[in-house]
């Protein structure tokens, strides 16, 4: 059974890459022209979201450089220790909604420091899979389509990130303790 899964996983992406243009060709869709038209649209979308991305990156840099992240972790640390939650993962809960790359780098550092089989490594990995980069998603997608008022989406996104963060900690403590 495992052999078939390995074969399927090795050939799934190349098969899809070959199938889509062949299917389009059979349906008499101009494949190359359609690709070029889509690439033009993608380029204009990328140009349109650059100001939003720059603004978000500056805000993240200011948040980290100002010491606000370290202050918050120091303030919350004793409370988390009472709940048997390692305070080392709190910055991940703050960074994850802001930046995918930054949170992945932080998770990598936690895993290098504490090990992948440590409680901190397991919680950090589970948080990475249970939450999303809400502010990035809102910035890119809302900026691309011109939505100006995303406050309800922001509230729901951040709430779901909080629930994912708490659930990841709870599940890891329940399973691995």
Q: What string of DSSP letters covers 78-107?
A: HHHHHTT--GGGHHHHHHTTT-HHHHHHHH
Q: Within a domain: residue 137? A: yes
Q: Within a domain: residue 26? A: no
Q: Within a domain: residue 32? A: no
Q: How does the average pLDDT of the chain come out, rounded?
A: 86
Q: What is the mean pLDDT of residues 59-81?
A: 83
Give percent of the chain with pLDDT exceeding 90. 30
Q: Within a domain: residue 19? A: no
Instruction: Judge whether residue 88 has pLDDT over 70.
Output: yes
Number of domains making up the chain? 1
Q: Within a domain: residue 134? A: yes
Angle between helices 31-65 and 2-26 (to 10 degrees): 120
Q: What is the mean pLDDT of residues 14-18?
A: 91
Q: Within a domain: residue 74? A: yes
Range of the domain at 110: 48-176
């Amino acid at each position: 059974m495992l052999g078939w899964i390995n074969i399927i996983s090795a050939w799934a992406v190349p098969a899809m890459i070959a199938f889509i243009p062949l299917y389009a060709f059979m349906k008499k869709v101009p494949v190359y022209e359609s690709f070029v038209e889509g690439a033009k649209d993608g380029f204009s979308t990328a140009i349109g979201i650059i100001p939003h991305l720059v603004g978000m990156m500056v805000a993240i840099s200011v948040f980290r450089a100002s010491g606000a992240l370290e202050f918050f972790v120091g303030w919350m640390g004793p409370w988390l220790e009472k709940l048997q939650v390692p305070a080392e993962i709190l910055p991940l809960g703050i960074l994850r909604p802001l930046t995918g790359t930054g949170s992945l780098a932080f998770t990598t550092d936690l895993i290098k420091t504490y090990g992948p089989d440590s409680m901190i490594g397991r919680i950090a990995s589970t948080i990475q899979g249970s939450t999303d980069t809400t502010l990035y998603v809102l910035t890119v997608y809302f900026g691309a389509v011109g939505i100006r008022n995303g406050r309800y989406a922001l509230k729901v996104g951040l709430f779901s990130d909080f629930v994912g963060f708490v659930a990841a900690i709870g599940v890891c403590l329940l399973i691995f303790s």
